[in-house]
Structure 1
Amino acid sequence: MEEHPAPRGARPRPTPLVAIVGATATGKSDLALALARRLDGEVINADALQLYRGMDIGTAKVTPAEREGVPHHLLDVLEVTEEASVSAYQRAARAAIAAIRGRGRTPILVGGSGLYVRAVLDAIEFPPTDAVTRARLEARAVQEGPEALHAQLSRTDPEAAATIGPRDTRRIVRALEVGELTGRPFTAFLPRPHYVEDRTVQIGLRLERADLHSRIAHRVHRMVDRGLLEEIRELRGRGLDQGPTARRAIGYVQGLSVLDGAMSCQDAVESTVVGTRRLVRKQDTWFRRDHRVRWIDALGEVHGEDGGVLERALQAIEAGVTAEAPGDGTGPRLVP
């Protein structure tokens, strides 16, 4: 594909923003690299766990050698003792997109963390939080019961109350907290399916369940063979046990149990496979709800005799950009 120049006098249109989404083990990273080479792109990570330094084997992070010179952003930006923040990630990822487009290159967002992807692509505003306000509301929930707080929410924010159960203490407290801090209803901050960047295209990779399960099992065994336990042992020395986000990651929590003698390696492998399958179902449900995603089959090589996954993705990107174009012939157009 190449960009054709805009007609004289027309304002150049930005390069596409391509998002590669889908479940774990569908080959998103390989496709992102291939697209970056074909579209003169740079890759932005949208996997929450790949933000962490040292969590390499267990997250299937693309190594520096595998990147083959393609710039990657938002990898290795947190210590395992830090908590990942979607709002902080949103700011960093949008800044990276702007910088990449400023260089005239194509930003390629890739990952399976659904909320992180939505935070970058869509009009989502994250409301503030205040520890004192939250603690006070949580204390009231204990003393008076969550139903009393839900009744208050019904008076102040009936739309939010209608979507939150009367005993869902965490969400009730959060809705009341947001209302007190902002003076706006909690529902005002819910995500809306509206792209904030021009020429955004989401490509989803899909696999038959049996093929995906086979890939997951192979992936987990390969991680163990590559030294996952040694990686976890090293990260424990850097505070993994205290990490509010990192220590709960699939594969890492099982590895910590093995190191503690609470689980055998075989049981840990089986538990990791099961946990990954469960994660895949959640990812699939999340991304399938977004009807803007253009799905392609991930079975086969990125470059294959049938054109491969890469060619199918390029065709889907062109279709997505063409569908968004105004049809007046202005601006660049992606062509094979």
Structure 2
Amino acid sequence: MTETIQRKEPLLVIVGPTASGKTKISLDIANTYNGEIISGDSMQVYRGMDIGTAKASRAEREQIPHHLIDIRNPDEGYSVSEFQQMAKASITDIAARDKLPIIVGGTGLYIESVCYNYAFTEVSFHEDYRKSLMQYAEEHGNEMLHSKLQQVDAQAAERLHPNDTRRIIRALEIFEFTGKTMSEALQAQQKQSPYTLCLIGLTMDRQLLYKRIEERIDEMMEQGLLNEVEQLLAKGYDTDMVSMQALGYKEMIGYLSGEYDLDRAVYLLKRDTRRFAKRQLSWFRRMNEIHWIDVTDGNFTKHLQHIHDIIGGKLY
């Protein structure tokens, strides 16, 4: 009796820092390979947060089906384990229809959790401990809370922005009640993918990337980022929510609350986005299976052909 060998589902993943050109390339690839796109961004899940999260446009989403966009209200929680579960379901659904699942994005932990089927820690929530850390942050500031994480888990601190208090507190909680850091837990995971996996990474000259980031932010302001934030606040969404601490939103909130003028808000957004891009690259550089494409020269046709060659060798 012959044993049936079950073929792994194919999965193409396109990663890279913000403003590196992932959307344009992913749309072309999806058209070519009859693919559907799964957003790998932790903030594009929120409804009404379109400009600041650089979602694909309505026209682009009509051209190619997109998944895990606009599935939560800004006051609703969303975790990496939820993303993992929903992304895996989307992959299975897309592959079952003989289409190619394509994850596109820049949230490293979210993407890696799916690529390698991470089993997340079973450490339960400790409400009193969490409240004590929240109180500490309120009294001493987010930077001081972030420095606590820096002392026990420098790798996690490098990945997390000081305003990402929810994830900082979770990382401190894991260390407090297991004696192991979140980074150690992630490194202990088996790097064996349940998929036939092809990882593509986009990179470019750092100064060019920073220039593109600044140009994108200028475009966001022209498109109405400030008005988008005003509308969210008018709906009653609290400024302390995780969603409202996202890049683009917290800086505009600072301006609207009178902390600084609009020029300062835009300056801070550009600065923090450059820092975020640096953290993204640091994360992805640790993923050894990524095939990197340097897109500095802007030769779109050449880069697409390179990607086609890689996909052909890995998936077809």
> Any conservation in 2 of the 1:49–1:249 contact (CA below 8 Å)?
yes
Q: In the TM superposition, what are the counterparts of 1:29-68 in structure 2 within 5 Å?
A: 29-68=23-62
Shift of 1:260: 1.9
The gaps in structure 1 that reach 5 residues or longer are: 1-9, 143-162, 322-333
| Residue 131 of structure 2 is aligned to residue 135 of structure 1 | no
In 1, Cα distance between the equivalents of 2:19 and 2:72? 23
List aligned pairs for 1:282-301, cutoff 5 A.
282-299=279-296
- In the alignment, which residue of structure 1 is the partner of 2:99? 105
Amino acid at match of 1:257: G
1:159: which partner in 2? none
Is 1:22–2:16 an aligned residue pair?
Answer: yes
Alignment of 1:89-100 (within 5 A): 89-100=83-94
Provide, for residues 35-69 of structure 1, a one-character-per-residue CA deviation record: whole Å limited to 9, x for no partner. 11000000000011111111101111101212342
CA distance in 1, matches of 2:226, 2:209: 24
Read off the aligned partner of 2:128 and give its amino acid letter. A
Identity of aligned residues (%): 33
AA in 2 matched with 1:103: R
What runs of 5+ residues in structure 2 fail to find an aligned partner? Answer: 136-151, 158-167
Match of 2:260 in 1: 263
2:204 counterpart residue number: 207
Match of 1:190 in 2: 186
Q: Give the match's secondary structure for 2:44.
A: helix
Over the residues paired in the alignment, what is the CA RMSD in angstroms? 3.1
Per the alignment, in what secondary structure is the counterpart of residue 135 of structure 1? Answer: helix
Residues paired across the two proteins, number:
284
CA contact (8 A) 1:45 1:73 kept: yes
Instruction: Report the CA distance between 1:195 and its aligned residue.
Output: 3.7
Q: Note closer, same or farther for the CA distance 1:137–1:177 as it changes in structure 2 (3 Å cut).
A: farther
Cα 1:119/1:243, change in 2 over 3 Å: farther
Q: How far has the Cα of 1:31 moved from its partner?
A: 1.2
Task: For residue 198 of structure 1, report the CA deviation from its aligned partner.
Answer: 2.7
Q: 1:122 to 1:234 in 2, by over 3 A?
A: same
Assess if the C-alpha contact under 8 Å between 1:28 and 1:110 holds in 2. yes
Q: What CA distance in whole angstroms lies between the structure 2 residues aligned with 1:64 and 1:126?
A: 34
Match of 1:309 in 2: 303
Normalised by the size of structure 2, how large is the TM-score?
0.80
SS in 2 for 1:203: strand
Q: Which of the two has higher C-alpha Rg?
A: 1
| TM value normalised by structure 1 | 0.75
